[in-house]
Amino acid sequence: MVKGILITVAVLVFSAVIIGLIGQAREASKAKQMTTALTQYVTQRVGGIVDFEAFSELPPPVARYFRYVLTNGQKFIRVAKIHQSGVLRTSTRTENWLPFTATQLVVPPAVGFVWNAKVKTPLGTHIRVLDSYTAGVGASRVSLSSTFAMASTTGVPELNSGALHRYLAEAVWFPTALLPQCGVVWHPIDDRSALATLTDRGTTVCLTFQFSEVGTVEGVYSNGRFGNFDGEYKQVPWQGCFRDYQVQAGMRVPSYGEVGWYDNGTLQLVWKGHIMNAQYELEA
C-alpha cells in the first residue's frame, strides 16, 4: 500500500513538473511571438536627421524640449531597449505595492512596443506581465510564475487606445518619436504646455505635455485614458510624471517616472519606476 502511495505521489509530482514546463514553454513562446511581430518592422525608417532649424514652427515649449534633449544632426531612433525596476499596484484601492523588473522593446518607426515584466508576489512566486502595441493592436497577457495564463486580452478598441496613449507618454524615453516626422502633431496651449496628438491605424490619442523652464517634460496628462477597472473599460483622467534626466546615448531622458489614475480629483499612483539602463539603435 505504501509503495502504491509513493508511486502515485511520484506520478503526480512528475505530471506537475511536466505541466509546469509546458506552461513555461507556452508563455515564453507568447513573449517571443510578441517580440517577433514587432521587430519585423525594424527595417522601416523615418529618414532624415534632427534639424534644430525646423523647430521654429513648433510651439515654444516643445521646441525648447527638443533642443534640450536631442543633438542637432543626430539620427532618429530605430530601436530602443529599456530596462526598468520599481514597484506597482494592481488597483488604486489596494495599498499592496509589488516590486517588478521589466524590459521594454520599442520600435518607433512602427509605433510599437513590447513590455515584459516580472512582478514579485508572496511565497517566492511571481506574475509575468506582457503588454504590447503592434500594428495598431494592443495586447495584455498575465501569467502566474510565467507558467499558467491568468488573463489575456487582444485587439479590444479600448485597449488599443490605452496602449497608444501609453506609447505616446513613454516616448520621453525615446524622444525622437515625439518629432513631427514620426506623426506627432503639436498644438500650443501656453508657455509651459502643449497638446500632442498621434494617430495610428485609425486610433487617435491626445496628451497634454507639461514642460519645465529648462525644457524637460515634467508630466503628461489625459482627461480620459481607457483603463480596465474591475473587468470593465472606463475613460478616467490619467497622469504621468517624470524627473531626474540623465544622458543616454547623447540624449537626455528621465531616469524616474510614475503614473496614476485620478479618483475623485486625487491622483492615485499605480506605477513607480526607475530606468536602470537604456540602449538605442539609430537609423543608418
pLDDT in tens, 39-94: 887 666 666 799 999 999 999 999 999 999 999 999 999 999 999 999 999 899 99
Mapping DSSP to helix (H, G, I), strand (E, B) and coil, where does residue 201 land?
A: coil
Closest CA to 212 of 243, 186, 185, 238: 243
Task: Read off the pLDDT of residues 95-141 as tens digits, 9 standing for 90 and up.
Answer: 999 999 999 999 999 999 999 999 999 888 999 999 999 999 999 99
Task: Read off the pLDDT of residues 217-271 as tens digits, 9 standing for 90 and up.
Answer: 999 999 999 999 988 999 999 999 999 999 999 999 999 999 999 999 999 999 9
Residues 6+ apart with CB under 8 A from 94: none
Which pLDDT band holds residue 2 (cuts at 50, 70, 90)?
A: low
Q: In the chain, what percentage of residues exceed pLDDT 70?
A: 86
Is it the case that residue 185 has pLDDT exceeding 50? yes
Query: For the chain, how long is the longest CA-to-CA vector?
Result: 86
pLDDT at position 32 is 79
Contacts 24+ apart (CB under 8 A), 203-209: 203/136, 203/157, 203/160, 203/161, 203/164, 205/161, 205/164, 205/165, 205/168, 207/165, 207/168, 207/169, 209/61, 209/62, 209/65
Closest CA to 112 of 223, 26, 198: 198
pLDDT at position 5 is 56
